[in-house]
Amino acid sequence: MSSRNGSPTGSREQKDERGIERLGPVGEDNLLEWEAVINGRGVGCGYDSGRWRLTIAIPPAYPLQPPKLVFATPVVHPNIALQTGEICLDLLKDAWTPAYSVLECVRAVRMLLGCPETDSPLNVDVAALLRQGDVLGTRRLVECWCADEGGRYDGP
């Protein structure tokens, strides 16, 4: 992989592409409903063996309004609601600008897995572990969750 000037691009782009297994419309008849499948390889924090499906609703006013990304596969993370899959990420709310793409949103969500923010948690229990400094306990919890079939997407 190389850039326009012929120099090799960084491994970050290659890692992003390996981490996003699928991204696109669910069907041909509705281009506003998308899905993505991402994995946790290289993310760290215990998510390396994880694999998740996200649903993406693109509003009619896109790109003036952000897409709505939701985890369809349950994930244990302070910024993701376990029951609903809602994601707390500024990029998907107040920090949105039309310069962002759906791909960049999916990349940001994947990056969020390895960079939890405990100030505005949707999963207060996991955030409490991190606030108490129990990084190892949080990592073990995530690893166990990712190993369980209920916390891992095994579809195509």
Active site amino acids? 88
Q: Alpha carbon 43 to chain centroid distance?
A: 10
